[in-house]
């Protein structure tokens, strides 16, 4: 038995994600299934494994799932990706409610980053003849790392990362039509 398996863990981060740059009519059924298999079901399977472990330990723990600002504000050419992040939001909220009913000491956080300065679009599949670029300012990966550490140490429900994510969550609640128009322009 390794030292890690004896010691265990108290924090689990789910960050499975692949991208697809395409209009809805150019997104095949197979591509929809693949992106959901990786993004959504990757988070589901990881969450289930972590919760089973945490349930046995019965000690304070943190489950951190990665969503995205696009769960609140889908963007054109990334509808399938946005749909997976919206599904992750619904799953995370539902799982959090179930664990609260069980009164388990597990915090469940949804991290919702804005555009992060990574090679994500270099690896995304595209049907548009070129790679996309996330709208708005791009934030350093270290900002997301700090959010993960904060969520692991302090119970948080949602954790928007970047000004775009903070603004979008508020604007979507107050003026959803405005947000839609901003995305289509």
**Catalytic site residue 81?**
yes
> What is the domain extent for residue 173?
8-184
In a domain, 3, yes or no: no
Averaged pLDDT in 10-residue chunks for the chain of 185 residues: 63 89 88 94 97 94 91 78 93 96 95 69 59 64 89 88 65 57 52
Among candidate residues 40, 53, 81, 139, the one labeled active-site is: 81
Domain count, the chain: 1
In a domain, 1, yes or no: no
Per residue in 110-161, pLDDT (tens digit) is 999 876 556 555 556 566 565 566 666 666 778 888 999 999 999 888 877 7
In a domain, 2, yes or no: no
The closest alpha carbon to 69, from 155, 156, 181, 179, belongs to 179
- CATH code of the domain in which 100 resides: 3.40.50.720
Residue 56 has, within 13 A of its CA and on its CB side, a CA count of 7
**What does DSSP assign to residue 143?**
H
Q: 90: which 2 tokens? A: 């619904």
In a domain, 121, yes or no: yes
In a domain, 115, yes or no: yes
């Amino acid at each position: 038995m390794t030292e890690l398996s004896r010691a265990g863990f108290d924090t689990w981060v789910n960050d499975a994600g692949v991208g697809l740059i395409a209009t809805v009519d150019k997104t095949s059924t197979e591509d929809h299934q693949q992106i959901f298999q990786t993004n959504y079901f990757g988070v589901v399977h990881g969450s289930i494994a972590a919760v089973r472990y945490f349930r046995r330990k019965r000690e304070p723990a943190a489950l951190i799932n990665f969503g995205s600002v696009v769960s609140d504000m889908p963007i054109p050419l990334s509808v399938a990706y946005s749909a997976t992040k919206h599904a992750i939001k619904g799953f995370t909220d539902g799982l959090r409610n179930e664990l609260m009913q069980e009164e388990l000491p597990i915090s469940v956080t949804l991290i919702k980053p804005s555009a992060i300065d990574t090679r994500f679009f270099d690896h995304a599949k595209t049907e548009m003849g070129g790679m996309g670029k996330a709208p708005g300012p791009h934030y350093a990966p270290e900002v997301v790392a700090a959010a993960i550490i904060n969520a692991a140490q302090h119970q948080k429900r949602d954790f928007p990362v970047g000004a775009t994510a903070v603004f979008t969550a508020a604007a979507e609640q107050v003026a959803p039509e405005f947000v839609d128009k901003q995305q289509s322009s």
